[in-house]
Structure 1
Amino acid sequence: MPELLPEVPPSPCALGPCFNGGACAPAPAPGAGYTCRCPPGFRGSNCERRADRCADHLCLHGGQCRDLGRGAVCKCRPGFSGRRCERNADDCTPNPCANGGTCQDGANSFTCSCTLGYAGADCRRRADACASGPCLHGATCYTHFSGHVCACPPGFMGSRCEEEIGGPPPAPRRLLVSPPLALACALPLVLLAPGVGLVLAVRRRRRLPGER
């Protein structure tokens, strides 16, 4: 009678438990199950779930993430570049600010700090320092590289001709006495007047002719 060999249990991978092209590998220990090695873009114990590569905020600076199955691609906003949109393009290279202006880089933008006498987004426009009418009292305004210059008419001075010189002297101020104060000062004189008159009359009598 032939010798019977022990029955070998079927492989756990025989029925193809791994989906979406996953590779099945039996566990080292018999009867311990299997492990699925998932292809890119899938996850789960049986590779049954599609991986969302955009769930981890892959793209920076507002870039839009697109999962193409085999990988994710970032569509960057204008002014940014790189695999994850991590690089901010230098909008100040080359310097767009003319006439010695200083450029400050932004997000797909730049800002120019213009030197005196120039204005505009790129400092190419000549600034008119007299446009706002800074000179007063009919003075003539001239535009200088450092700002405005006012030619003042006679009788005025200052950077804007705001100070008047050589004007008429101020009128003297009168001392005003309030009525109660004036009455208080005059009342003693009124009360003393009869007595003073009586004394003068007595002295006049004593000096009549013939009287010694």
Structure 2
Amino acid sequence: DPCSSNPCKNNGRCENRGSSFSCLCPEPYAGTTCQKVKDMCLEKRCHRADCLITLTPPYFQCSCSHPYQIPDCQQASSPCRPNPCKNGGICIRHRIRSKFTCQCPEPFRGRFCEIGLNDCYEEASSEYRGRVNQAVNGKTCLHWNSHVLLDHPINAFMEDADSYGIGEHNFCRNPDEDEKPWCYIRKNGKVEWDFCDISPCSETGKELEMSSEESPWLTDSPTNPTGSNKIFKTCGQPEIQKTLKRIYGGAKTAAGKHPWMASLQIKSSKRSKHFCGGVLIKACWVLTAGHCIEQPAENLQVALGKQDLRKREHQEQIFDVEKIIVHHRYRDKDGVPLNDIALLKLKPVDGHCAVETKYVKTACLPNFFFPAGTDCFISGWGATERGDISHQLLDANVKLISQTKCNAPRAYDLLLDESMFCAGNLQRPRADSCQVYSGGPLTCVENGSYYVYGLVSWGDGCGLKNKPGVYTQVTTFLSWIKSKIGSESRS
């Protein structure tokens, strides 16, 4: 009897066909011995989500991201009611109805503040059973039971999946005993794998010891073990505090008033050429606009402490660029840059990156939002009212404008998304951020400290009525910044 050995897997029923057999397979299984899982998603529509295979009727499910709801992820509930953020996180609702951000208290992170310091991997990383579901490149992991993984050797339906911690979820795992936990992701329409944004437990212990009033990733540990270099103990604290005049409509600024200002330059055998601004946020890290990055790292250098681009100055610090990280979702859509942000990792000189001086300091990163009407400041080497480019560092005062006014039909007519904001004056255009110093910071003050709230991104013309400057909203990308700097520091 060919059925005596029960050749049918997954509870399939064997039927004797004389010298052969056939298996009657329960849903969702198929194949000669019921060894395969059928793709139950071929004719299903999940709209904004991935389609998952399940072992219970109807044998598929859409993996709706909050606040979209099952069955088909088309309807969105209120993103912040009830509060989806865990561990005391604050839910901040964005302009677009479905968008929200969880503002996480230290040391929690993750989209819902669900990941704590104890969510780390031990030396035997194949035993990791935590809840991190993000790759080091910032992409969200695919569910192990996603229909796109059915043809991959590792998925929720492989033999002994449970013993590897793999099931109907998208948490990082290490079933093949690689160097650390990993997951599958979608990249450019293809399925790839990548390591996850998880620290070894030995490192998170050190982070716990470092915890202070400020997040450990906003300040720097010494880059020079001898202690001969000053380190960045604070952020956003210029030593020069003069009244800012009202760089279009701007005025020359005193040296040291914007000590976090960076000049991005194309290297040359003669004089290096400034092409974009940036802002120093850590000793080895400069934040800038994604659209500024058109050259490879080896062609670039970053000048800190600069006042006059035409001169060599005693206070300047010059660094080559070791690595460029442009946001993975950066793209240009009809002239509007989306997710317009990038990080430059500076190449150390004599074992250290930037050294804190009167003229070189870091700006703070905000984990909160400033209201419309707040007076903020732009700085850079930009266009003057005569139309030429200033070699002197200029600054100007601008007001934050509400998203509603920026997106009005006579202004930008819904071109701004939640990763952008505008600032200036709609009716009386004076101070404006022109494209010649893209990437530079817009800083706002809270309790005496300067926070880099925006990066000069785009705009229509220069100083035109109803066309204020548009900036990248830095708060939207805090987790991305933290992820990239953190993964680089561990590599």
**Normalization by structure 2: what TM-score?**
0.17
Which protein, 1 or 2, shows the higher relative CO under an 8 Å CA cutoff with sep ≥ 6?
2
User: Which one has the bigger helix percentage?
Assistant: 1
Q: Kindly name which structure, 1 or 2, has the bigger radius of gyration based on alpha carbons.
A: 1
**Normalization by structure 1: what TM-score?**
0.36
